[in-house]
Structure 1
Amino acid sequence: MLAVRLNRARRLGPRVVLPLAGSVLQAAVVAAATFVVFLLMRLIPGDPARILAGPGGSVTPEQVERTRRELGLDDPIALQYWNWITDAVRGDFGNSLVLNDTVAELLADRLVITLQLSVYAFTLAVVLAIPLSLVAARRQGAIADKLSRLAGATGVAVPSFWLALLLIIVAQGVLPTFGYAPLSEGLGAHLGHMLLPALALGAGFATLVFETTRAGLIDTLSSDYVRTARAFQIPERRIYGRYALRNAFLPTLTIFGLEAGALMAGALLVENAFALPGMGRLIVQGVLSRDYPVVQACILVIVVVFVAVNLLMDLLYAVVDPRVRRSRG
């Protein structure tokens, strides 16, 4: 009986240790990213204590020092970070130094807009890229394939902020180019304000999805099992849907995970171009005013979302590829 239990423990060991090691590594990534931002914010020229103490000419050194003590800015950097991260884990991000509001309330208002923009850009990119990749792989070398690849190369070369400015110029007077309309004002008004930002943000992502899926499909369609399926006269729709696309989609899932965080980071630039009151504008205002708690909390949220999406992609790998499920037991 003891030998059986030892053998079972040896078999289960990697299944327990590997996920635990992955969780520890992801936590370390979050901590490292937030600490770097925490440190960089304090290296930016300018003292928030001097700004908050009062108008420049009437502030005494004693008032500035007292403000620094009240804000905890005179503590060592490591202690400041420890106090902040332990409070953040409990959901307390502190108060804004400039906006006279809690950081949690500021994030709640603006995170929704940034997430909406990221989801719309993601959806638009997938809806456009996957069908185009199927057409391009099926008609490899044809005019449709060459045109789609040309459009893809253009999408990679054009930065999102430059495309945002171009869309503003082209669509001015046709679609709303600035501001935000919540869902409470109607679905049409909301989507109308979000269409151009979603296009600007999702163009580069759509190109990556298209190129990755197309290359995977071309490689899969030349494999032996696809030729065997065609020899047995299995319908092309079933070959593409059940065999080719499912196997070619695994590298695309990797792109989904890696680019999810990039979408939120790109949203920061696009939001400022289209005057969307999301986290992008909040971060810019926080950096310019040296509002440490606001910038730190925004970066923490972005990093956590990035890690969570990558965890979700790992789960989807197991759903799409049975070999992953078997390897993980």
Structure 2
Amino acid sequence: MKFTVVFIQRRLVALTLLLLIVSFAVFSLLDLSPGSPEEALLGPEARTNPASVEAIREEYHLDQPLLQRYWNWLADVAHLDLGRSTESGEAVTHVIAQRFMLTTELGLFAAVIVLLIGVPVGMLAGLRRGSSFDRVVTSAAVFLASAPPFAVGILLILMFGVWLDWLPPFGVGDGVVDRLRHLVLPALALASAALAIVVRQTRAAALGVIDQDYVLFARARGLSRRTIFLNYAFHNAALPVVTTAGLLLVFSLSGAVFIETVFGLPGVGSLLIESINSRNIPVVQGLTLLTAAIVVLGNLVTDLLALALDPRTRYAGTA
């Protein structure tokens, strides 16, 4: 217990420093990027109306040095104030909150697909090594791992949305059931790469377990394949699978930018594209910080799951 608390404290300190580095890097790069918020807001008037340009620079503190602006922004972030959108004037937190729920639903749907399909399928492929099922699963995993998620999304739209007309290819839908139907194809596309890697990782973990002495002894005792699968193979192969799946699901959120664009979903990903195109720097900064925080917390949760699944890692950390 003591080691777990110390571990969490150390990780939180390290992850906080990482967030600071990422936020400063993004803040600096946006400041160096071509164009300016004044030009985005005023258009051609920015060249002929210096007074309006100066007013905007003062309103958004663009007339201050970079380090001072970053420090002021960081102080506001500590109070959960990400500034105001240069496009609508709304609070950035409100703008992001309006889009965040849809992206969260999409990510959770993709996570369910990865865990409920990837883990059992990979485990069965490993337990049936060399069978036709194993060969089909391995080939499908190689294809999905090599195909970009947005390309998979386009194929899904053509197959199930246009040719077969089974599922709606675009939009959000109304009501719970209709919303789920609209999210099936984008969730499959978002989960495709992570699903392939989890299947291969689970298969490899199963292959590493089934030849162990305790599994051979369980077979010699006459235990059924289902009992061996649930009580021995699955539990002991869970650690690398959970670690890989957790990291992949966190990083797959970055793929939501392309998936939401392909399927016309008004989520955080499409908001990021819109904000970049319109030079809406406060929103871009807020979304970048949010994404980094999710990745950081996802890594921490994955490490804690590894500690819970394999107590040996606790003792290794105290050595």
Q: Same fold judged by TM-score > 0.5?
A: yes
Q: What are the superposed Cα offsets for residues 290-312 of structure 1, whole Å, 9 maximum, x if unpaired?
A: 11110111111111112222222
Give the letter for the 1:286 counterpart.
S
Give the letter for the 1:24 counterpart.
V
- Equivalent residue number for residue 177 of structure 1: 169
- Distance of 1:291 and 1:240 partners within structure 2: 52
Asked whether the equivalents of residues 118 and 264 of structure 1 are also in contact (C-alpha less than 8 Å), the reply is yes
- Distance of 1:60 and 1:121 partners within structure 2: 49
- Equivalent residue number for residue 33 of structure 1: 22
- Distance of 2:126 and 2:5 partners within structure 1: 41
Aligned CA RMSD, in angstroms, stands at 2.1
- Distance of 2:105 and 2:177 partners within structure 1: 15
Pairing of 1:96-111 with structure 2 (within 5 A): 96-111=85-100
Pairing of 1:239-250 with structure 2 (within 5 A): 239-250=228-239
Secondary structure at the aligned position of 1:217 is classed as helix
Give the letter for the 1:89 counterpart.
A
Structure 1 position 82 matched with structure 2 position 71: yes
CA positional deviation for 1:189: 0.5
- The counterpart of 2:214, out of the listed 200, 217, 225, is 225
Pairing of 1:257-296 with structure 2 (within 5 A): 257-296=246-285
Asked whether the equivalents of residues 268 and 280 of structure 1 are also in contact (C-alpha less than 8 Å), the reply is yes
Asked whether the equivalents of residues 194 and 249 of structure 2 are also in contact (C-alpha less than 8 Å), the reply is no
Structure 1 position 145 matched with structure 2 position 145: no
- Distance of 2:7 and 2:113 partners within structure 1: 35
Pairing of 1:6-17 with structure 2 (within 5 A): none
- Equivalent residue number for residue 198 of structure 2: 209
Give the letter for the 1:267 counterpart.
A
Give the letter for the 2:302 counterpart.
M
- Equivalent residue number for residue 160 of structure 1: 149
Q: State percent identity of aligned pairs.
A: 34
- Equivalent residue number for residue 67 of structure 1: 56
CA positional deviation for 1:328: 6.7
Secondary structure at the aligned position of 1:208 is classed as helix
- Distance of 1:198 and 1:33 partners within structure 2: 28
- The counterpart of 1:302, out of the listed 281, 288, 291, is 291
Secondary structure at the aligned position of 1:141 is classed as coil
CA positional deviation for 1:15: 6.2
Deviates further, 99-108 or 169-178: 169-178
- Distance of 1:57 and 1:240 partners within structure 2: 68
Asked whether the equivalents of residues 96 and 103 of structure 1 are also in contact (C-alpha less than 8 Å), the reply is yes
Give the letter for the 1:180 counterpart.
V
- Equivalent residue number for residue 188 of structure 2: 199
Q: What are the superposed Cα offsets for residues 98-144 of structure 1, whole Å, 9 maximum, x if unpaired?
A: 12211111111111011110110111122211221122112101111
- Distance of 1:51 and 1:232 partners within structure 2: 73
Q: What are the superposed Cα offsets for residues 195-254 of structure 1, whole Å, 9 maximum, x if unpaired?
A: 110011111111111000100010111112212222233333222112211111111122
CA positional deviation for 1:327: 5.4
Structure 1 pair 178–132 and aligned structure 2 pair: CA distance change class (3 A): same
CA positional deviation for 1:191: 0.9
CA positional deviation for 1:58: 6.7
Structure 1 position 50 matched with structure 2 position 42: no
Tell me the TM-score normalised to structure 2 length. Answer: 0.92
Structure 1 position 115 matched with structure 2 position 104: yes
- Distance of 1:237 and 1:246 partners within structure 2: 13
Deviates further, 301-310 or 166-175: 166-175
Structure 1 pair 61–265 and aligned structure 2 pair: CA distance change class (3 A): same
Structure 1 position 23 matched with structure 2 position 51: no
Q: What are the superposed Cα offsets for residues 1-32 of structure 1, whole Å, 9 maximum, x if unpaired?
A: xxxxxxxxxx96x7665433221111111112
Structure 1 position 128 matched with structure 2 position 117: yes
Asked whether the equivalents of residues 53 and 59 of structure 1 are also in contact (C-alpha less than 8 Å), the reply is no
Give the letter for the 1:147 counterpart.
V
Asked whether the equivalents of residues 15 and 328 of structure 1 are also in contact (C-alpha less than 8 Å), the reply is no
Tell me the TM-score normalised to structure 1 length. Answer: 0.89
Structure 1 pair 17–127 and aligned structure 2 pair: CA distance change class (3 A): closer
Structure 1 pair 142–79 and aligned structure 2 pair: CA distance change class (3 A): same
Asked whether the equivalents of residues 4 and 314 of structure 2 are also in contact (C-alpha less than 8 Å), the reply is no
Asked whether the equivalents of residues 261 and 302 of structure 1 are also in contact (C-alpha less than 8 Å), the reply is no
The unaligned stretches of length 5 or more in structure 2 are none
Secondary structure at the aligned position of 2:129 is classed as coil
Asked whether the equivalents of residues 272 and 280 of structure 1 are also in contact (C-alpha less than 8 Å), the reply is yes
